[in-house]
């Protein structure tokens, strides 16, 4: 690294325009990014906290959508009724229905680009 580049990197702390020297950017892009962050923090801290106003508001979405469901009434039941198996089947059906609801809501609020 050239001495002039080292001098440029050292002077970045006191002179913002030294960030635009190509040799400094090529030599140490991470250091230049940190210097930009240092300069930006000085600008941000110059605003008094009273000048920043945060307001809250309630948002409500109401949309009518069609949610696909799984109809398990056509599935034949075994002669021997196993409560654990039936409980697991009900849980799986609930998971599938909820997953389909999440997919439908996600596609409505965040459609994929075509």
| pLDDT of res. 67 | 78
Q: Could you count the other beta carbons within 10 Å of the beta carbon of residue 69?
A: 11
| pLDDT of res. 79 | 53
**pLDDT (tens digit, 9 = 90+) per residue, 21-46?**
888 888 888 888 888 888 888 887 87
**pLDDT (tens digit, 9 = 90+) per residue, 77-91?**
665 566 777 788 888
Mean pLDDT of 96-109: 82
Which carries the bigger pLDDT value, residue 94 or residue 79? 94
Which carries the bigger pLDDT value, residue 94 or residue 67? 94
| pLDDT of res. 100 | 87
| pLDDT of res. 77 | 61
């Amino acid at each position: 690294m050239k001495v002039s580049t080292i001098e440029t990197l050292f002077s970045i702390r006191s002179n913002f325009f030294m960030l635009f020297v190509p040799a400094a950017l090529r030599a140490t892009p991470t250091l230049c990014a940190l210097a930009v962050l240092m300069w930006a923090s000085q600008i941000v801290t110059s605003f008094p906290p009273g000048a920043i106003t945060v307001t809250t508001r309630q948002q409500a979405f109401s949309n009518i959508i069609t949610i696909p469901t799984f109809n398990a009434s056509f599935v034949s039941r075994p002669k021997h009724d196993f409560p654990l198996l039936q409980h697991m089947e009900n849980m799986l059906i609930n998971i599938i229905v909820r997953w389909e609801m999440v997919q439908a809501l996600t596609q409505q609020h965040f459609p994929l680009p075509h």
